[in-house]
Structure 1
Amino acid sequence: MQSGGDYTNGFHGELQRDEKQVPVLSALGRAKRRSRGGARDPRGGLTNGELRVSDQISEQKPLETQESPPPCTDFDVAYFHSYAHVGIHEEMIKDRSRTETYREAIMQHQSFIQGKVVVDVGCGTGILSIFCAQAGAKRVYAVDASDIAVQANEVVKANGLSDKVIVLHGRVEDVEIDEEVDVIISEWMGYMLLYESMLGSVITARDRWLKPGGLILPSHATLYMAPISHPDRYSHSIDFWRNVYGIDMSAMMQLAKQCAFEEPSVESISGETVLTWPEVVKHIDCQTIKIQELDSVTARYKFKSMMRAPMHGFAFWFDVEFSEPAKNTNATSVANGSSSVSPFTEGNQKKRSNPSDALVLSTSPESPPTHWQQTIVYFYDPIDVEQDQVIEGSVTLSQSKENRRFMNIHLEYSSAGRSFVKESVMR
């Protein structure tokens, strides 16, 4: 993470190693999809007139400078519709690390928000918009494409904030706001950071409305990866078939591997499962990143194992940082994968040793759990590695041509003279 030129490596605290590993394993299977960004009703606005969409066409950019927004596909419609269900919002709000870190970030940046205009991209139930209003925002545009916008509007009214929080039902790409804004806030991160492609909507909001020098929360994000050893998970899913009530069912093992490990798995692991210090896959500066950069991300890596163990795959997690615009100008070494350990305090709400430095929300295995957990790409068969053995290769994350909210993962890795390729799709 960037903060005044100091970076973390995605771990916060010492790695503790025992010969007996005790991994933390959540229920298998993926939770409901995350993120909101675009539109069920692409042109937004409800018929009751309570949700305001500006019709000040004269305030738009000149026609010759506008680009047509991307079409709202059937996949997008289904995606936005899934966010109309209250359960997914309950899960996110109950994630105290997530919600309380956002609230603290808003209060830490109150001087940027008080008396200013804010856009909340993918507002969901409107909780971040309300936090901003409570911090003194002059006006908050709460944008969401899902029908949850109807409930968000009712929540705003119930809290007596209709004069400050304006709910816009539609895609960021389609709704109109007839003024520039001072602040953009969004909880856009998906599993493995980039899954669901909501960051593109934040970039669109930035390019359409944010004043020069405006604040974006979070300001930075960093995706990490590291090899892991997770024998309990492998044993639970695969070795089980060797002896089932005294019957040899090992003929099932190949199918079991395919079913268990074909797609990435979202689950919680402990730091004890991680074989090396992590490396950076992608560092994002929300002030400068372009939408085209999200089409495909490639990073090379080189790890050295800290221990002798079977390697079962790679884990991915991310940090996001909430820093002021003046600190958003020097992203250099982290983008190339170099990093250094920085001192942090307990929990997900990580603070630098200098109290003026940025607040960080981490989904590291070393941090308290969040609903994002970690994303694991498992091998079909483990690879035995020795202590100090080098593991190197590359990873490419790209938007699926089938559905841009899906993510293709292409992993190349080699160790001890053997090379492998693993491809999977996060759906």
Structure 2
Amino acid sequence: MQSGGDYSNGFHGEVEKQLPGLSSFGRAKRRSRGVAHDPRGGLTNGVRVSDQLGEQKPLETQKSPPPCTDFDVAYFHSYAHVGIHEEMIKDRARTETYKEAIMQHQSFIQGKVVVDVGCGTGILSIFCAQAGAKRVYAVDASDIAVQANEVVKANGLSDKVIVLHGRVEDVEIDEEVDVIISEWMGYMLLYESMLGSVITARDRWLKPGGLILPSHATLYMAPVSHPDRYSHSIDFWRNVYGIDMSAMMQLAKQCAFEEPSVESISGENVLTWPEVVKHIDCQTVKIQELDSVTARYKFKSMMRAPMHGFGFWFDVEFSEPASSPAKTTSATSVDGGSSSMSPSREGNQKKRSNPSDALVLSTSPEAPPTHWQQTIVYFYDPIDVEQDQVIEGSVTLSQSKENRRFMNIHLEYSSAGRSFVKESVMR
């Protein structure tokens, strides 16, 4: 996925406009939505499934879905490329955790109806069918749905997995469902705005008390120091084969740090305990909440080091609804604990009744690596911080008016009497 955009970095409260930027080191990872096929093995596009199954009564009439824009079409088209799906499936932490979550919640899935939102190649739908699902609606708006349908047929599951080709906002499923599963997370959790389609599926079809996997998500941030990255991109120009090319440094900063960067860092790069930017309960979150997310933070540096920017990562948690009469006791976390690397500050803790009961997929710097890596918003110039120095401010993440799948990032931060602002667009 590429991130980027126009943003500014000011000092002492002033906002300094920057030059238009070039793309960063981000890799394309875009998400498809909505698809289904008919139970006789054919791909279904925009039909009422109940007309084929002949056993469900229509649900309440829904209000008109949002229009499919040219940006949406381009987004769906990007997911027709097999390379994106190969990258995601080869992410063992991701794929094996989803498979484990399905088997762990088999009692909720066996004999039940499931919707897979943004099914891609259909692998999660097949996992659900293998877990005993009565019927799985595999919904995807990308043309990868054609291949998903062939994969389903090749595995002899056409009687259980119905591939629907279309947006989840547009396809019709005229029965309530027991389970929604989706791998909706983008870089920095909210990039691509796919969670909105999961919410739409929930509001259209999920039975009261139904299961959503994952059930919760938490986005974290923390100040980071990354001198090797800065040296590689910027200090290199000070002396190039004995030639002073420092005149290139300002342009190099623009090109390297104008856009958020998707890359891997380690726990050693993190200067403080992280704080929570947003905790999401997939059972209750509203689409309107995702239009703009603002959080205030106050960090205290654990060491003396140059601060090069802020890092962002996330957890997702797989747990049954709070109203469930029985809790699973065999769950394990893929990283042995919370991605926050330590207990979060009081008031920012994830809302778990018992953390040991939750299966967690983490993209923390200290967790097993995933294709999401971490997202770093770099400053153009580092800030030297001392041990115990306070860094405080606010972050706002909002859907871009240009394209709702883009994300605006507005950072305000101050330390040692100096104030800064940085704005960027993750494209």
Bin the TM-score by the shorter chain.
0.7 to 0.9
Q: Is the 8 A contact 1:35 1:190 kept in 2?
A: no
Could you say if the C-alpha distance between residues 21 and 79 of structure 1 is closer, same or farther in structure 2, counting changes exceeding 3 Å? Answer: closer
- Where in structure 2 are there 5+ consecutive unaligned residues? none
Deviating more after overlay: 336-345 vs 66-75: 336-345
1:132-188 per-residue CA deviation (whole Å, 9 max, x = no partner) reads 000000000000000000000000000000000000000000000011000000000
1:334 aligned counterpart, secondary structure: coil
Q: Is the 8 A contact 1:40 1:76 kept in 2?
A: no
1:350 aligned counterpart, secondary structure: coil
Could you say if the C-alpha distance between residues 277 and 65 of structure 1 is closer, same or farther in structure 2, counting changes exceeding 3 Å? Answer: same
1:363-399 per-residue CA deviation (whole Å, 9 max, x = no partner) reads 0000111000000000000000000000000000000
- 1:423, 1:293 → 2: CA distance? 21
Give 1:36 shift. Answer: 3.8
Could you say if the C-alpha distance between residues 69 and 376 of structure 1 is closer, same or farther in structure 2, counting changes exceeding 3 Å? Answer: same
Match of 1:73 in 2: 69
- 1:82, 1:389 → 2: CA distance? 44
Could you say if the C-alpha distance between residues 60 and 382 of structure 1 is closer, same or farther in structure 2, counting changes exceeding 3 Å? Answer: farther
- Where in structure 1 are there 5+ consecutive unaligned residues? none
1:104-135 per-residue CA deviation (whole Å, 9 max, x = no partner) reads 00000000000000000000000000000000
TM-score by length of 1: 0.84
- 2:379, 2:75 → 1: CA distance? 29
Match of 1:400 in 2: 400
- 1:146, 1:327 → 2: CA distance? 36
- 1:25, 1:5 → 2: CA distance? 8
Give 1:29 shift. Answer: 3.4
Percent identity between the two aligned chains: 94
| Alignment RMSD | 8.9
- 2:10, 2:365 → 1: CA distance? 9
Q: Is the 8 A contact 2:33 2:166 kept in 1?
A: no
Residue correspondence of structure 1 range 291-370 to structure 2 within 5 A: 291-324=287-320, 357-370=357-370
1:391 matches 2:394: no
- 2:120, 2:411 → 1: CA distance? 34
Q: Is the 8 A contact 2:7 2:18 kept in 1?
A: no
Q: Which runs of 4+ in 1 moved over 6 A?
A: 1-15, 19-27, 38-45, 56-64, 325-356
- 1:20, 1:307 → 2: CA distance? 31
Give 1:67 shift. Answer: 1.4
Could you say if the C-alpha distance between residues 247 and 335 of structure 1 is closer, same or farther in structure 2, counting changes exceeding 3 Å? Answer: closer
Give 1:83 shift. Answer: 0.4
Give 1:88 shift. Answer: 0.3
- 2:14, 2:115 → 1: CA distance? 39
Q: Is the 8 A contact 1:412 1:419 kept in 2?
A: yes
Give 1:247 shift. Answer: 1.0
Deviating more after overlay: 65-74 vs 181-190: 65-74
Could you say if the C-alpha distance between residues 333 and 20 of structure 1 is closer, same or farther in structure 2, counting changes exceeding 3 Å? Answer: farther
- 2:59, 2:48 → 1: CA distance? 23
Paired residues, number: 423
TM-score by length of 2: 0.84
Could you say if the C-alpha distance between residues 273 and 13 of structure 1 is closer, same or farther in structure 2, counting changes exceeding 3 Å? Answer: farther
1:225-250 per-residue CA deviation (whole Å, 9 max, x = no partner) reads 00000000000001111111111111
| Structure 2 counterpart of 1:214, from 210, 229, 238 | 210
Give 1:31 shift. Answer: 3.4
